[in-house]
């Protein structure tokens, strides 16, 4: 065959090889020669071996093929132009992928120097040309078999690794399934930790420690630990993290960072009783609940065991993640159980507190039927009914306000008001009650007006609740101190109510402002209450963008409650001492009562007359508006449910009238829902009072009217 014919034959073979899919069961053989006739001869000889023959006519072509394919053997001509066989072999050997590929040199020169150079460049054999077909086939067949054995060994190794990985994954999966089953049985955090520390032993660790925050502020923590083999740990049945300062510090860092901490070396210890020398490696994993580390799991391996590696972390992390999920459920369950327990306690407490005033009221009513009206004991009976009814009303009001706060439905009627005056007037209002309990009440601090944007009614309620609480928990002979201070730099007002009463246990300080939270009182519940007062204080203060906190040295050492409120402006001139008047002050008003219920209007008029106010009444809206224009009252008490024209229309008319718009208008109604109160305020009422209205509430309403009217006078040019 001519050289031209051989060349065209080779080109056809190259095209067929490029188009034909490569059989994964056959080996690749690379033929490198610059002469087409030689390549054709080698192909013809080796064709019957049934392998995949690839050809290259230069060293450069060969190197390109080696980038794409692996070869069982390479037949390489020594004498080629540009890049000879020795240089080609040298470059083949430099590549890691082809460094061990067998190379058989083919050459017409058989001198000893050439052979030495061939072997020096990585040849495994050296054949003179023209080659003997049977010799060439035999040598190539050996390398094909060797390649096939290597491939089979690699497949077997790969299969073994895959099988071992599958078995390990199955073991890990079974471990995690069992862990999940054991963990989900836990009904409390302590049960969970006791189960948790046993789970990794000895599969993941030689010892384990679980450390979980006990409460929201993280002061106390629950700790459990276990070891797989006590003999390994010199007879110890557990490892306490608090005995290992270096381990405790690392665990506390995990609490802060929420990230895994891996230690394959532990610090040396000079403490003789310390077991640090026995510890080889440690993994500390966070137990994450709602994005925060609520605890940590410490896995410990003895120094005689294989140290932890990075590939041990994924399984440990998976376990910690599952523990975090279960811990969240357990914490939620404990909260539900605690809430259920508190609910039951509250319902029992509510029944007790409501029955207490009902008994005296019922007895007083029965006694009124039995004695004559002129009997001096009649006044005592009226006082009993009045006192117990007011107590009952306060309980119900607190309960309703607590419900509104919990649902974010407390309404604030904010206005510019003098906080100093509100504080002094609240103290003055409670003075008689506190002194009647045998206590001393003192007031100190700034006397200048302090203007804030707030709801006077709710601020009175917050401060009054603190005074009521101090009065309730301080024995006769004690002292209640109220101070009012201003931090002009920070624009904050500080109201402090301190007492010398029973104090607060440290464990109660963190939850004292929770709803239905009370210190233990015993079955007699001599101090009463529903545990709502301080929750209301906190809620109302926070609605004014303020803060409140409690402090106490401990039981029987008194308590201190501090309210911080943002202020707008502080005046330099002092307020006259006589301006701080109690709610039942001697200041008199012109009052108009618009009420279609004759008995309600008459009784309200009598009460207000007895207090010294100038009072007129009107039974309809139209008469009321006409009377207002003539009488010019400072305060109007207006029923909402009036015939023909209701109270909402009355107040809108008043606000639109320039001569009447500055009057303080109070809504009187039997509807006390949030939507009713909001509707009243939106219509233009200054205050919403729910019937029946007791005289104390009426006096306070008039005092609030005095504050607003006084502030209007202050701002008037």
Does one domain contain both 148 and 37?
yes
Residue 43 belongs to domain spanning: 28-155
Residue 527 has pLDDT above 80, yes or no: no
- Rounded to an integer, the average pLDDT of 519-524 is 41
Residues 199 and 147 in one domain: no
Q: Are residues 32 and 122 in the same domain?
A: yes
For the chain, what is the domain count? 5
Residues 349, 304, single domain; the answer is no
> Do 238 and 295 have their domain in common?
yes
- Is residue 7 in some structural domain? no
- Residue after which a domain boundary falls, among 337, 354, 373: 337
Integer Cα distance of 502 and 520 in angstroms: 12
Last residue of a domain, one of 294, 322, 337: 337
How many C-beta atoms surround the C-beta of residue 59 within 10 A? 25
Q: How far apart are CA 381 and CA 491, in angstroms?
A: 50
Contacts by 456-459, CB closer than 8 A, 24 or more apart? 456/415, 456/417, 456/422, 456/704, 456/707, 456/708, 457/413, 457/687, 457/700, 457/704, 458/410, 458/412, 458/540, 458/543, 458/544, 459/417, 459/419, 459/422, 459/540, 459/544
User: How many residues are listed for the chain in this entry?
Assistant: 717
Contact 667, 640 (CB under 8 A): yes
Would 475 be classed as within a structural domain?
yes
Lowest mean pLDDT among 175-189, 325-339, 410-424, 580-594: 580-594
d(CA 562, CA 497): 7
**Residue 165: inside a domain, yes or no?**
no
- Asked whether residue 713 carries a pLDDT value surpassing 90, the answer given is no
Specify whether 362 is located in the same domain as 322: no
**pLDDT at position 532 over 90:** no
Q: Assess whether 552 and 651 both reside in one domain.
A: no
pLDDT at 335: 83
Bond prior to 660 in cis (omega within 30° of 0): no
Q: Which of 504, 508, 503 is nearest to 217 (CA)?
A: 508
Q: Which of 138, 155, 172 marks a domain boundary? A: 155
Strand arrangement of the beta sheet that strand 221-227 belongs to: 221-227, 207-213, 292-302, 279-289, 261-263
- Pick the range with the lowest mean pLDDT from 159-168, 216-225, 293-302, 365-374: 216-225
Determine phi and psi for 28, rounding to 5 degrees: -90, 135
Q: Output the 3-class SS for 318-348.
A: HHHHHHHHHHHHHHHHHHHHHHHHHHHHHHH
> Mind listing the pLDDT tens digit for each residue in 130-164?
888 998 899 899 989 888 888 888 888 888 888 88
In whole angstroms, give the CA distance from residue 210 to residue 197.
6
State whether residue 691 is helix, strand or coil: coil
CB distance 639 to 597 below 8 Å: yes
273 shares its domain with 418: no
The neighbouring-strand residues paired with 668 are 639, 689
Could you tell me the pLDDT band of residue 28, with boundaries at 50, 70 and 90? very high
Please state, in angstroms and as integers, the Cα–Cα distance from residue 196 to each residue in 243, 254, 307, following that order.
Answer: 20, 18, 21
Do residues 197 and 211 both lie within one domain?
yes
**Assigned domain for 176 exists:** no
Does 535 lie in the same domain as 417? yes
Name the band, by pLDDT with cuts 50, 70 and 90, for residue 348: low
pLDDT at 520 over 60: no
Look at the block and give the residue holding tokens 């106490």.
Answer: 552
What tokens does 545 get? 């963008």
Domain assignment present for residue 358? The answer is yes
**Dist. CA 330–CA 194, nearest whole Å:** 14
Q: Specify burial of residue 633 (Cβ count, 10 A radius: 0-12, 13-18, 19+).
A: buried
Of 701, 616, 641, nearest to 665 by C-alpha is 701
Same-domain status, 100 and 147 = yes
pLDDT tens digits, one per residue of 207-250: 888 888 765 433 356 778 888 888 888 777 888 877 888 888 88
pLDDT in tens, 387-432: 777 767 767 776 776 676 666 667 677 888 889 999 998 888 888 8
Do the domain assignments include residue 379? yes
The CATH number that applies at residue 444 is 3.30.565.10
**Residue 398 is assigned to a structural domain of this protein:** no
Indicate which CATH number applies to the domain containing 37. 3.40.50.2300
Provide the pLDDT confidence category of residue 559 given band limits of 50, 70 and 90.
Answer: very high
Same-domain check for residues 47 and 148: yes
* Own/partner pairs, 100-104, CB within 8 angstroms, 24+ separation: 101/66, 101/70, 101/71, 101/72, 101/73, 101/74, 102/72, 102/73, 102/74, 102/143, 102/146, 103/73, 103/74, 103/76, 104/73, 104/74, 104/75, 104/76, 104/139, 104/140
Q: Are 380 and 518 in contact (CB under 8 A)?
A: no
Note the pLDDT of residue 528. Answer: 45
**pLDDT confidence band for 524 (50 / 70 / 90):** very low
12 located within any domain:
no
Query: Mean pLDDT throughout 543-556?
Result: 90
d(CA 471, CA 475): 8
pLDDT at 114: 62
pLDDT bucket at 52, cuts 50 / 70 / 90: very high
Tell me the pLDDT of the chain averaged across its residues: 81
Whether the pLDDT of residue 310 is over 90: the answer is no
């Amino acid at each position: 065959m001519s050289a031209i014919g051989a060349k065209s034959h080779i080109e056809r073979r190259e095209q067929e090889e490029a188009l034909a899919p490569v059989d994964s069961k056959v080996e690749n053989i690379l033929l490198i020669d610059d002469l087409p006739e030689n390549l054709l001869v080698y192909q013809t000889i080796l064709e019957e071996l049934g392998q995949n023959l690839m050809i290259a006519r230069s060293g450069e072509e060969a190197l390109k093929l080696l980038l794409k394919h692996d070869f069982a053997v390479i037949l390489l001509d020594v004498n080629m132009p540009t890049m000879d066989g020795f240089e080609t072999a040298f470059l083949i050997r430099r590549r890691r992928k082809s460094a061990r590929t067998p190379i058989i040199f083919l050459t017409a020169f058989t001198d000893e120097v050439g052979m030495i150079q061939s072997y020096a460049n990585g040849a495994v054999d050296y054949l003179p040309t023209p080659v003997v077909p049977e010799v060439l086939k035999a040598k190539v067949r050996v390398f094909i078999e060797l390649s096939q054995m290597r491939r089979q060994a690699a497949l077997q190794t790969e299969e073994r690794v895959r099988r071992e990985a599958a078995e390990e994954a199955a073991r890990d999966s079974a471990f995690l399934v069992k862990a999940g089953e054991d963990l989900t049985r836990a009904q409390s955090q302590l049960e969970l930790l006791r189960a948790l520390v046993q789970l990794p032993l000895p599969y993941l660790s030689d010892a384990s420690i679980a450390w979980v925050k006990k409460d929201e502020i993280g002061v106390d923590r629950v700790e459990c630990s276990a070891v797989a083999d006590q003999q390994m740990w010199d007879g110890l049945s557990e490892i306490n993290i608090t005995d290992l300062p270096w381990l405790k510090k690392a665990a506390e860092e995990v609490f802060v960072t929420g990230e895994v901490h891996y230690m394959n070396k532990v610090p040396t210890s000079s403490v003789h009783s310390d077991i640090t020398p026995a510890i080889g490696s440690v993994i500390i994993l966070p137990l994450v609940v709602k994005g925060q580390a609520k605890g940590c799991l410490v896995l410990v391996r003895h120094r005689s065991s294989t140290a932890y590696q990075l590939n041990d972390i994924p399984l440990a992390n998976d376990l910690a993640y599952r523990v975090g999920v279960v811990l969240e459920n357990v914490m939620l369950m404990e909260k539900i159980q605690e809430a259920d327990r508190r609910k039951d306690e509250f319902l029992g407490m509510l029944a007790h507190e409501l029955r207490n005033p009902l008994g005296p009221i019922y007895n007083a009513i029965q006694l009124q039927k039995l004695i004559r009206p002129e009997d001096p004991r009649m006044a005592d009976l009226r006082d009993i009914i009045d006192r117990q009814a007011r107590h009952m009303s306060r309980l119900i009001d607190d309960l309703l306000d607590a419900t509104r706060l919990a649902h974010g439905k407390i309404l604030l009627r904010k206005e510019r008001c003098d906080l100093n005056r509100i504080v002094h007037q609240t103290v003055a209002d409670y003075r008689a009650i506190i002194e009647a309990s045998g206590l001393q009440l003192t007031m100190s601090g700034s006397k200048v007006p302090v203007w804030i944007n707030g709801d006077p009614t709710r601020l009175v309620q917050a401060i009054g609740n603190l005074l009521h609480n101090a009065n309730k928990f301080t024995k006769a002979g004690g002292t209640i101190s109220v101070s009012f201070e201003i931090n002009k730099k920070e624009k904050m007002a500080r109201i402090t109510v301190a007492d010398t009463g029973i104090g607060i246990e440290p464990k109660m300080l963190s939850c004292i402002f929770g709803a239905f939270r009370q210190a233990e009182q015993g079955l007699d519940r001599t101090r009463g209450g529903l545990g709502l007062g301080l929750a209301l204080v906190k809620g109302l203060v926070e609605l004014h963008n303020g803060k409140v906190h409690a402090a106490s040295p401990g039981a029987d050492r008194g308590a201190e409650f501090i309210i911080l409120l943002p202020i707008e402006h502080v005046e330099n001139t002092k307020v006259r001492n006589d301006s701080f008047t109690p709610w039942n002050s001697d200041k008199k008003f012109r009052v108009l009562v618009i009420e279609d219920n004759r008995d309600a209007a008459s009784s309200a008029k009598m009460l207000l007359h007895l207090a010294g106010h100038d009072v007129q009444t009107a039974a309809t809206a139209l008469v009321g508006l006409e009377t207002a224009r003539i009488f010019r009252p400072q305060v109007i008490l207006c029923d909402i449910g009036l015939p023909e024209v209701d109270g909402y229309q009355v107040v809108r008319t008043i606000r639109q009238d320039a001569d009447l718009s500055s009057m303080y208008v109070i809504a009187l109604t039997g509807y006390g829902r949030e939507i009713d109160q909001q509707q009243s305020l939106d219509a233009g009422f200054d205050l919403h009072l729910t019937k029946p209205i007791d005289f104390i509430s009426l006096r306070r309403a008039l005092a609030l009217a005095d504050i607003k009217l006084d502030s209007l006078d202050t701002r008037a040019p």
